[in-house]
Chain A
Amino acid sequence: RKEVEQDPGPFNVPEGATVAFNCTYSNSASQSFFWYRQDCRKEPKLLMSVYSSGNEDGRFTAQLNRASQYISLLIRDSKLSDSATYLCVVTGSSNTGKLIFGQGTTLQVKP
């Protein structure tokens, strides 16, 4: 079983749609959680950290359910520029050290 699992997609949605991505992780001791965005042939860029209380940044909302070991990302009012691969990322038992990446979910927003 992979440490971080995501539906690879692709998710093809029209502009303006709301889309949700989910992710599960296997290590119950993981302490920090993130969504990164990766454009084709580019490096991953931090999109947002994910907190147990849930957090929102503009059109993006992230949720964490520690009991179910489940992380979600909701994108409202999708833009063409949101097309990318979204990586679910967790730390290990220590809050520093390596990041463990999911395989990524590909989003394609179409006009």
Chain B
Amino acid sequence: GAGVSQSPSNKVTEKGKDVELRCDPISGHTALYWYRQSLGQGLEFLIYFQGNSAPDKSGLPSDRFSAERTGGSVSTLTIQRTQQEDSAVYLCASSLPEPEQYFGPGTRLTVT
């Protein structure tokens, strides 16, 4: 079946601009996660949505980062006033909500 999809696959933006990254989870998965992976670094948790519960935002690095999940499915991660240190691969994952998470291909964000 279809896996997690993310768009765009690559995004180049100028410092100070806002960007939106999209994630479509696996159909039927109730939990959705955002992570980021900077060059040569491990994966860093950003935010977690589970059903109608309040999201766990404990990993968001600053108030420039926000995310929404509409209708319990698609999610959008928004980064306002992008900075060069925001350059990374942003990965979305979904789960049933059993603990195994399945990742999308990621969005590679480059802030110039």
Q: Give chain A's interface residues, CB within 8 Å of chain B.
A: 31-32, 34, 42-46, 49, 87, 91, 95-104
Contacts and interface: CB of A to CB of B under 8 A. Distances in A.
Interface of B: 31, 33, 35, 41-43, 45, 48, 50, 56, 58-59, 91, 93, 95, 97-106
The A interface is mostly helix, strand or loop, or mixed, namely: loop
Nearest to B95: A96
B76 to A, nearest CB: 19
Contacts of B45: 98-100
Contacts of A100: 45
A31 B59 CA distance: 20
Nearest to A90: B99
B75 to A, nearest CB: 15
Contact of A98 (B59, B103, B105): B59
Contact of A104 (B35, B42, B98): B42
A37 B58 CA distance: 26
Q: Choose among B59, B101, B105, B106 the residue with the greatest number of A CB atoms under 10 Å from its CB.
A: B101
B102 A46 contact: yes
4 smallest CB-CB distances across A and B, nearest first, come from A98-B45, A43-B103, A32-B99, A101-B43
A97 B42 contact: no
Contacts of B93: 99
Contacts of B103: 43-45
A43 B105 contact: yes
A61 B72 CA distance: 36
